[in-house]
Amino acid sequence: MPAFAQDKVKLSVNGSVRARAETIGGQFRPNSPDSDSFVSFRTVLAAKADIGAFTFGGEVVDARGYGENEKSSVRTNEINDLEPVQAYIAVRPTKGAQLTVGKFAMDIGASRLVGRTDFPNGVPTYLGAKFELQDKNKNQLYLFWTRPFTALPDTPADIYDNKVQLDRATENIEFFGGNAMLAKLFSKTSVEAYGFRLIEHDRSTHPTRNRRLITFGTRLRRAPAKGAIDYEVEAALQRGLARATAAVSDVRDLKVHAGFVHAELGRTFAGKWAPRVAALFDYASGETANPNTYTRFDTLYGARRADFGPLSLYGALGRANIVSPGVRFEARPSKRLDLMASVRGAWLASSIDAFSSTGVTDKTGRSGKFGGVQFELRGRRWLVPQKLRFELGAAYLAKGEFLQDAPNAPRTGDTKFVHGDLTFSF
């Protein structure tokens, strides 16, 4: 929707409505239905008013879902009714600088540790302040201090009933840090460096693992361009203290030694379709047998759809206990249509820890390390340019020995997942 200007006041309103249908068969999660189907509707309405150097902004997301089975894996990432996800005031003291205070979403760097992506219906939000600075060369600095919100309701019964309950700012978690980027380190390559601190304490009603984590990392990237090679490498280390479980009786602090790596090397070819082929590699540490350390990587508030495939009823792979090489193909046959196909293998970094995001575990380590091979297809087409878009996607997980033989692995065959989205934007 176009903005309206009157004197020094500029008002803009925009939003979207998305309907999604999805189904999964050959479930990989323990204690979940062998197959499940789900229909969800997400409505987004955002508005902001620019008054001189100030901006007043707000956003409401209404995410509702229906038709899921009893004991479905659907949670608040997909159902979160009538939630004001943003309500903030921003001020621009100088050109290129902005200070924001209130409730807001964040997307930092490649979104792997702090991100807001479009696939989930829900939105991670934070209460606090953030400062953004960008110069004429597009070098950037991002600093923040927040208390993350806990999505509510948090019981399966209330979630399935689409109960309206406002999210709560977590009094027992502080999350702060910063990210700095040089836009052109050399030859069209940007470099980022970041550090994030998470401090968590038990609440009387919600025991936690008392995470006190420091995560620091760096990222090199050359963006894709026609007829050129592109690349990206991101690596992070995680240190600090945490407890093995959230049990009240668990009061022993363990030293955290964890990390992750993402590497990507691609080439975009000349031609009408601008096809791009990329080799991928992801590693994230898992828990080992050392009783004095905690080594499973914590992805904090990161997004994983871009690297690991669709979420919601699917979401088998994530940034923990995984070693995963792969190949991705992308093409844009027209301005309205884009296509993507990928295949990646997945192994456990540690054979005694839960495999990635599946919840499947063998504490003895006797079920091997091969999780399986994931195939993914996706097509998106604008039916009406910038107004109405249709997306169709599918994933197939050919289960390896671990997902077949681990003690709590469901005997359901390979996993099949399909989703279709229709989104109207205004």
Q: Which domains does the chain have, with CATH numbers?
A: 4-425 (2.40.160.100)
**Amino acid letter for position 2:** P
- How far from 335 is each of 259, 266, 272, 391, CA to CA, in Å? 39, 21, 10, 15
Within a 13 Å sphere around the CA of 258, how many CA atoms are in the beta-carbon half? Answer: 30
pLDDT above 60 (res 244): yes
Per-residue pLDDT tens over the stretch 210-238: 999 999 999 999 999 999 999 999 999 99
**pLDDT at position 4, please?**
46
pLDDT above 80 (res 3): no
pTM, full prediction: 0.94
pLDDT above 70 (res 5): no
* Dihedral pair phi/psi, residue 129, rounded to 5°: -140, 145
Between CA 408 and CA 79 the distance in angstroms is 27
**pLDDT at position 7, please?**
54
**pLDDT at position 203, please?**
79
pLDDT above 70 (res 173): yes
Share of the chain above pLDDT 70, in %: 98
Task: Using alpha carbons only, give the angle 252, 254, 257 rounded to the nearest 5 degrees.
Answer: 170
In this prediction, residues 311-339 reach a mean pLDDT of: 98
Question: Residue 77: which of 145, 20, 27 has the closest Cα?
Answer: 20
pLDDT above 90 (res 189): yes
| Confidence bin at 174 (pLDDT 50/70/90) | very high
| Confidence bin at 85 (pLDDT 50/70/90) | very high
pLDDT above 50 (res 2): no
DSSP 34: S
**pLDDT at position 160, please?**
96
Question: Which residues contact residue 248 at a Cβ distance below 8 angstroms, ignoring those fewer than 6 apart?
Answer: 202, 207
